[in-house]
């Protein structure tokens, strides 16, 4: 969710100062009552202020040095030498590196100062091997979307080079042989690394979009996990870019090297720039999967409960206030759980989904005349699994999916990440959108029985051929399922 812009400042003297904004959220005027302090703000295509008028009539103007980036207003791609992109929008030259991508828009080589690094991915899109030049390759072992061990290529299973310990999504410690290092993070990134005795092994800091400033480059920090949860290719003659799961992040440029596989809705203009990092609000938001920005969620420490749930520990036991409330809203609608009734928030989310103005129109378009959602076929909403677990199920980064196997009729189940649901700053409307997206995919599994099961959610209206939009999304490595098209229909796109 995007933080609200400041609309009024109250001073102890009683003075009220009101900033005003244009239709896309840029500052346009600062005034107090009838007094104007600044107006006439101008901006360039990169949203940098080019000038404004003080309240006393003095005009201010700003120019930018030639090394500033020039961004195409139509494609949002950086233009001018040496920057370049391929036909899928992937950056093939980011100013320091020459990059090559595979058919799924994953970087497979990066050449820096004549040295080529090669990246190998598994079927889930996770990088399982990296080789820098002619050096020994590094092999990665994942648990979900987290690296838990690294090996030198050819090493025995019991001889990892490094192992990583996490507290929730936060890196807690690195074990290298007999040496253990602990990592101390703020709400964004690791800031301090200590040894087993608590002595400092190094501090580290970065500019807002992740570019290293401490220790001063080219000195490397104590850990390569420098910016949020991203691993940096920071070794000698490596790219200096960050691995962000679904794509790479160029911290020097403050943007991703490839367009977001999840296109934004026209009703949310900030989401339409598919290269932008977290809506250009890196101090408050993170993007662990390279797909969607989210508010930072602190690590969750868990204990086991008699009904099999793992819940945040609050010292109150299963019957304690916080734990009990979590049991309530971790139950799916009408499904098994701790015995609590369906929580009100779940009901509110489903009701918000069913109140979409174009719901009947879009159901008829995609699933046939008279298609409706009733208590007989409305999917359950299950929020007991994390986005990482859902990613493991789907085989690619995801925060929602139909639960498999989908029953041939009746009520299926939609899974939505517990970390998304439990984030207090994620609104019901956002989760309702995910729910409707996966509800459409669930209906496709149930209704399009004339095509193979795995192909059903990627069909077009009424189970026919995919639309031109779906084919375009597939070519760009985007979300080509019927759920995305159903969302677009609901938004009037």
pLDDT at 6: 64
**DSSP state at residue 28:** E
Phi first, then psi: give them for residue 120, nearest 5 degrees.
-120, 135
> Which DSSP string corresponds to 296-338?
------EEE-TTS-EEE--SS-TTSHHHHHHHHHTSPTTSSSS
pLDDT at 311: 31
Query: What mean pLDDT comes out for the span 210-215?
Result: 93
- Picking from 168, 148, 126, the residue whose alpha carbon sits closest to that of residue 296 is 168
User: ∠172-173-179 over CA atoms, to 5°?
Assistant: 165
User: In the numeric block, which tokens belong to residue 491?
Assistant: 């938004």
Query: How many Å is the Cα radius of gyration of the chain?
Result: 25
Question: Residue 20 in contact with residue 28, Cβ under 8 Å?
Answer: yes
Burial class (CB in 10 A: 0-12, 13-18, 19+), 186: exposed
239-249: pLDDT as tens digits? 999 999 889 99
Q: Residue 317's pLDDT band (boundaries 50, 70, 90)?
A: very low
Query: Beta 107-112 vs 98-101: how paired, if at all?
Result: antiparallel
Three-state DSSP state, 39 = strand
Give the lowest-confidence range in 197-201, 231-235, 380-384.
Answer: 380-384
User: In the numeric block, which tokens belong to residue 11?
Assistant: 């001073």
Write down the residue that tokens 């040295």 correspond to: 115
Query: Beta 59-61 vs 162-167: how paired, if at all?
Result: unpaired
CA distance linking residue 182 with residue 201, whole number of Å: 9
Question: Residue 261 in contact with residue 394, Cβ under 8 Å?
Answer: no
Residues 6+ apart with CB under 8 A from 176: 161, 162, 163
Write down the residue that tokens 């759920």 correspond to: 483
Residues 6+ apart with CB under 8 A from 437: 400, 483, 484, 486, 487
CA distance linking residue 388 with residue 110, whole number of Å: 28
pLDDT at 344: 78
> How many CB atoms neighbour CB 80 within 10 A?
12
Query: What mean pLDDT comes out for the span 373-381?
Result: 84
CA distance linking residue 96 with residue 109, whole number of Å: 13
User: How many residues appear in the chain?
Assistant: 493
Q: Is the pLDDT of residue 318 over 70?
A: no
CA distance linking residue 191 with residue 227, whole number of Å: 10
170-183: pLDDT as tens digits? 889 999 999 999 99
Question: Residue 75 in contact with residue 86, Cβ under 8 Å?
Answer: no
Three-state DSSP state, 458 = helix
pLDDT at 169: 74
Kindly tell me the sign of the dihedral angle through the C-alpha atoms of 289, 291, 293, 294: negative
**Which CATH code fits 330-490?**
3.40.390
Write down the residue that tokens 């791609």 correspond to: 77
User: ∠211-212-214 over CA atoms, to 5°?
Assistant: 155
> How many CB atoms neighbour CB 190 within 10 A?
26
Three-state DSSP state, 112 = strand
Query: What mean pLDDT comes out for the span 72-92?
Result: 94
User: In the numeric block, which tokens belong to residue 296?
Assistant: 């930072």
Q: Which residue has the higher pLDDT, 52 or 65?
A: 52
Q: Which residue has the higher pLDDT, 483 or 373?
A: 483
Residue ranges per structural domain of the chain: 9-61, 70-295, 330-490
**DSSP state at residue 233:** -
What value does the mean pLDDT of the chain take? 83
């Amino acid at each position: 969710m995007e933080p609200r812009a400041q609309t009024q400042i109250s001073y102890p003297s009683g003075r009220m100062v009101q900033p005003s904004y244009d239709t896309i959220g840029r500052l346009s005027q600062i005034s107090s009552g009838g007094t104007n302090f600044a107006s006439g703000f101008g901006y360039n295509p990169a949203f940098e202020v080019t000038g404004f008028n003080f309240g006393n009539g003095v005009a201010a103007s700003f120019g930018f040095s030639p090394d500033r980036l020039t961004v195409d207003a139509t494609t949002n791609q950086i233009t001018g030498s040496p920057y370049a992109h391929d036909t899928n929008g992937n950056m093939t030259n980011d100013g320091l590196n020459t990059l090559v991508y595979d058919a799924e828009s994953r970087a497979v080589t990066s050449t820096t100062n004549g040295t080529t690094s090669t990246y190998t991915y598994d079927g889930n899109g996770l990088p399982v091997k990296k080789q820098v030049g002619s050096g020994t390759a590094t092999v990665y072992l994942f648990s979900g979307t987290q690296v838990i061990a690294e090996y030198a290529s050819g090493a025995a299973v019991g001889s990892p080079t490094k192992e990583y310990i996490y507290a929730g999504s936060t890196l807690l410690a690195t074990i290298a042989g007999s040496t253990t290092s602990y990592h101390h993070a703020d709400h964004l990134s690791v800031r301090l690394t200590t040894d087993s005795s608590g002595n400092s092994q190094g501090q580290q800091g970065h500019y807002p979009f992740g570019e290293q400033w401490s220790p001063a480059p080219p000195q490397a920090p104590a850990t390569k996990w420098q910016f949020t949860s991203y691993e940096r290719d920071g070794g000698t003659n490596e790219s200096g870019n960050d691995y962000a799961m679904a794509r790479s992040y160029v911290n020097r440029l403050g943007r991703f090297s490839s367009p977001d596989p999840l296109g934004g809705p026209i009703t949310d203009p900030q989401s339409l720039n598919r290269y932008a990092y977290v809506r250009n609000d890196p101090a408050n938001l993170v993007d662990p999967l390279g797909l969607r920005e989210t508010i930072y969620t602190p690590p969750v420490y868990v204990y086991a409960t008699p009904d099999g749930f793992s819940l945040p520990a609050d010292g109150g036991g299963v019957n304690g206030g916080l734990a009990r409330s979590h049991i309530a809203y971790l139950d799916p609608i009408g499904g098994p759980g701790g015995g609590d009734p369906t929580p009100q928030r779940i009901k509110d989310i489903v009701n918000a989904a069913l109140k979409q103005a174009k719901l009947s129109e879009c159901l008829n378009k995609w699933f046939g005349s008279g298609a409706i959602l009733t208590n007989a076929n409305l999917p359950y909403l299950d929020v007991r699994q994390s986005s990482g677990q859902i990613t493991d199920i789907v085989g690619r980064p995801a925060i929602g999916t139909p639960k498999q196997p989908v029953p041939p009729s009746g009520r299926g189940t939609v899974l939505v990440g517990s970390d998304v649901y439990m984030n207090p700053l994620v609104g019901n409307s956002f989760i309702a959108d995910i729910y409707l997206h996966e509800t459409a995919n669930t209906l496709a599994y149930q209704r399009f029985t004339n095509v193979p099961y795995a192909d059903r959610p990627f069909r077009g209206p009424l189970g026919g051929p995919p639309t031109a939009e779906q084919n375009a999304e597939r070519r760009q490595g985007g979300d080509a399922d019927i759920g995305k098209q159903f969302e677009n229909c609901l938004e009037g796109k």
